[in-house]
Structure 1
């Protein structure tokens, strides 16, 4: 009996909307409702991280707070060994995703504290304060005035009496008492709006080194000047994008003359200057200046420089006439020990 084939992907593929690509991966996206972790493309498609480092970063990001992410704990759950896992953790540290520090607890025990950031580039930007509601306008409180008996309202403006409980006696009918002063109302301070966050400024990069000076020959003879100008003007026949102005040709002539002075063939110079240019080529004169400076060949060595190195002849071996030991000397005789012994005997 044949093995049962799982056709679930085939059925799901038939429900993918739109035309399917002829090659490459086809995604069947089913939304997650539980047990999922959001991973940014900056990590999943990081050009500088190995696949082991990306997988370990996703594993660490999916674990809860306080989980053990040491090398031995990760090696127990991955088929990779401790060496590869340690190298992957160092990669994550180098790119800012991971930070490990050693802290000493109050009981004297030293532990490793691991901090993982799912988006390290966001830490380089200044954080903006949360927007706050605008403050309520300040309404000045009425100034306290000394109490005075309220004048009686005219009878025409008095409201008709309704049946009910006995009316409250007015202030003029009450026994005289000292008026209670009102406590002063403190004005509500107006809160200034939070300062606007400064614009994001990228980190300062290292200063670029100054460009190399254009090489010059020891002596710009009329023959070198004419040959260099002709070679630069003829570049557009071989590479149409290298169209130079007369001022560019005059500026680059010393560099080509330095190549010709070092006995470089014109075809070699033309190939070095026009091979594999960037697309599109916007400033051909600057590219030629860079290549004339960066690719300048060294002068050809002379005949004495190419002569083989002669080694000094080795000192021949001699046999000592006294003890018959071998020693190196240009002439036969006695070895060092025998000469020293003879000197002591003579003394």
Structure 2
């Protein structure tokens, strides 16, 4: 297959008139008979739209009226996530290609009406006709010659049909008055009229095909985890609250990005107090809150809140948890006085078998 494509490509390049450009793209264009959409260069080469926005704009323009072009429908059709597709739709809406309005129906239901305009400039001019543009092909581009289709005339020859009528003999009984028999007319041969030549069938009108079936692509957006609550101390004493507030207000000396407001310090003070209540050293808390910060941190208070909730250390174990576990007493070994067998027993004596023999003898 690759060899056939290479041969066809070489033949197509040979038929291009004029010298080929030394670099850049070379166009080989054939006229479309069906399944095509006219897209303006103002959209395909827009310098203010991203590649995703241009691709989604071309896709929406190729769909028939009534197709669903919401974020969910486009996410199910393409591999891009909802964030990328939503940003591309906002770009198209900013540059006037897409218009989304909320409309209330007669039954009271509110729906979103989406309108796509292929030429926003013409819409701003009030819909006036745009004069035809003269397209000049510079040297080096591919010029597609017009395709001429010649249909040869169809000749239908109908052979003549010869009909032979046999002679009819009529026997007339004798009568008294002899009258000459009337001659039987002989019908001429019936020749059917030539069949009319059917007119050439008209060229089929290109019918746009149905929209591509939606392919369900799994979404790349992971479900958001619930945010952990800010830890709270068992008893927030004034001394503990004062130490936690001072620790949070002092963070900007060690990390200039973590500038917290008075409201943030007041809100996050119980979380830092929970760390201090569990025996965490202030230097350890400061290191956990200021190490490996994102650059630049957009929301310092949210970063501190998240780390206070996620990196909370467990409470210090007490003396009872740190005490070594007591071992269970071990039964010592004894030697049987009758058979010298070793067995476990708290007291010396006889083993199980010897005791059984003595009981039977007794």
Q: Tell me, yes or no, whether TM beats 0.5.
A: no
Instruction: State the TM-score, normalizing by the size of structure 2.
Output: 0.42
Instruction: State the TM-score, normalizing by the size of structure 1.
Output: 0.44
Q: Who wins on radius of gyration, i.e. which is larger?
A: 2
